[in-house]
Amino acid sequence: MHSGDRVPAVWFYPGSRQLHIIDGQPSNGNDECVIPEALTPGRTYHIDIHVGPTSVVASFDGVQKCTEPKTERQRLRNVHVYSSDPWHPPAGATIGDFKMTAN
């Protein structure tokens, strides 16, 4: 794994509506921001994932759901965003009003 491979990566666990948020760091592999509850089908959520210099914080509708400390965060340039991959079946979910900003 290389720095920047997952900044973060966001998936659903297979066969579920539980988000799987991974922020990879070269020295310790995949760090997961654990959110034990699943999303409710048919409901629209505002999901905010903030990747900062010392942590990843995920919130649903303004309620913080997880915090994962980071020790090797560096500012990345030329980041690519993908909404799917060819290796897994797609989730039954819709992404709307997606925004990515750099501070």
Contacts of 69 (CB under 8 A, 6+ apart): 54, 55
Write down the mean pLDDT value for the chain.
82
pTM for the model stands at 0.80
Residue 26: pLDDT over 70:
no
Query: What whole-number percentage of the chain has pLDDT above 70?
Result: 82
Sequence ranges of the domains in the chain: 9-69
pLDDT of amino acid 25: 64
Residue 43: pLDDT over 80:
yes
Rounded Cα distance between 42 and 4, Å, is 33
Rounded Cα distance between 75 and 55, Å, is 13
For residue 27, which phi and psi values (nearest 5 degrees)? Answer: -80, -25
For residue range 69-89, list pLDDT tens digits in order. Answer: 876 666 777 777 778 778 878
Secondary element (H or E) of residue 64: strand 63-69
